[in-house]
Amino acid sequence: MNAILEEIAAKVYAGKRLSREDALALFRCNDLAWLGQLANFAKKEVCGDYVYFNVNRHINLTNICVSQCKFCAFGCEKDDKKAYAMTKEEVLRIAKASAIDPDLREFHIVSGLHPDWPFEYYVDIIRSLKRELPNIHLKAFTAVEICYFAKISGKTVAEVLKTLLAAGINSMPGGGAEILSDRVRAELCPNKASRAEWLDASRTAHNLGIKSNASMLYGHIETIEERVDHLLALRSLQDETAGFQTFICFPFHPVNTALEGQITRTMVWDDLKTMAISRLVLDNFKNIKAYWVMLTLPIAQLALGFGANDMDGTINEEKIIHAAGAKSATALSKEKLIEVIRAAGAIPVERDTMYNVVRKF
């Protein structure tokens, strides 16, 4: 092992922060077992042997979207044969049917940016869900959606968030960050929130007491330097607000996107390396998620040895990633998640959205 990597390891073991140059050196390192060992040490320093999951249900209100991002297989035009848009009654029917499960604790609500729906539609959905199912946590609307709501309503981001907070949202998911690079966003998703707008919406949410997640979509046109700068931007905001609960690595799935045929899905080596480096760089994030929907269950299980301490949840009917050709299940049972976590030598812990422990297995 070269001297640079030895110095990095010494920093990690001493609890010292890694620099941009350190992170780039780790991406150049192909000793995957060493990276995993280092990331696992960092994970156990803050999480011990616990691996979290929750019982949740995804609700995607519509796939009609004005953004038309090149990496997205979910969003479509209004006249597309696969287009759909849920009514409030449909949302409530799905929600009530899911709430029959006594363990259900979270609705995860994200959607396309619909060209015609007013902001009041989304507020009404949240208000109605909270009124009908007051004990279910509403994790709703990414920073990108919040910025869009501000645009269509004429409100500020803070006003949008205050309105949604009053209606009943409890926290925000972390999607839409993609790669926080103006170059990448100009090429792949020019019609949605910029790097600065995504970060500012997250900052505003945190300052209002709304916790959120953070994510990174990697494996498309970004450079390794842009991956590292993305992680550093998240780390800096977390230093400022401490409002992020979890970080999620999303490998890009090219099937059915505008990039299909130009880019192939990342290999397991890159997935595990990126997971490990994320743990090591994001020293102020307690939770790093192995999102089994995008990674597949076997790779997500492997990621538990590379810094991840969360498996997300039961999901129930994931649509966005499966539109891009994901071969994973659209839902998992609680029992299966427990089995997978135990097989990795960890202690399964059922949590709520805010990481309060429900039960240890």
Distance in angstroms (rounded) separating the CA atoms of residues 213 and 175: 8
Report the alpha-carbon distance of residue 55 to residue 337 in Å, rounded.
Answer: 10
- Going along the chain from its start, the domains and CATH numbers come out as 3-360 (3.20.20.70)
pLDDT surpasses 80 at 323: no
Nearest to 295 by CA among 280, 316, 274, 277: 274
Q: Are 278 and 288 in contact (CB under 8 A)?
A: yes
Q: How far is CA 319 from CA 175, 215, 286, 310, 331, in A?
A: 14, 18, 28, 21, 10
* Number of H-type helices and E-type strands within the chain: 14, 11
User: In which band, very low, low, confident or very high, does the pLDDT at 330 lie, cut at 50, 70 and 90?
Assistant: low
Q: Which of 289, 293, 292, 290 shows the shortest CA–CA distance to 322?
A: 293
* Neighbour tally for 75: CB within 10 Å: 21
Q: Does pLDDT of 18 surpass 90?
A: yes
Of 18-27, 72-81, 190-199, 226-235, the least confident: 72-81
Sequence-ordered list of residues with C-beta below 8 angstroms from that of 289, at least 6 positions apart, any chain: 213, 246, 247, 248, 249, 308, 310, 311, 312
Q: CA nearest 184: which of 123, 233, 141?
A: 233
310 near 51, Cβ under 8 Å?
yes
| pLDDT confidence tier of residue 320, bands split at 50, 70 and 90 | very low
Label residue 107 by pLDDT band (50, 70, 90). very high
Model confidence at 72, pLDDT cuts 50, 70, 90, reads confident
Question: pTM for the full model?
Answer: 0.94
Beta-carbon contacts of 11 under 8 Å, excluding residues fewer than 6 positions away, are 17, 18, 22
Can you read off the two tokens belonging to residue 268? 């397991």
pLDDT-based confidence at residue 325 (cuts at 50, 70, 90): very low
The mean of the pLDDT values for the chain is 93
Beta pairing class for 106-109 and 171-172: unpaired
Query: What is the arithmetic mean of pLDDT over 76-96?
Result: 94
Q: Is 259 helix (H, G, I), strand (E, B) or coil?
A: coil
Classify 2 in phi/psi space as left (phi over 0), alpha (psi -120 to 50) or beta. Answer: beta
pLDDT in tens, 125-149: 999 999 999 999 999 999 999 999 9
- d(CA 93, CA 91) in angstroms, rounded, equals 5
% of the chain at pLDDT higher than 70: 96
Structure tokens at 285: 């994030």
pLDDT digits (tens, 9 = 90+) for 19-65: 999 999 999 999 999 999 999 999 999 999 999 999 999 999 999 99
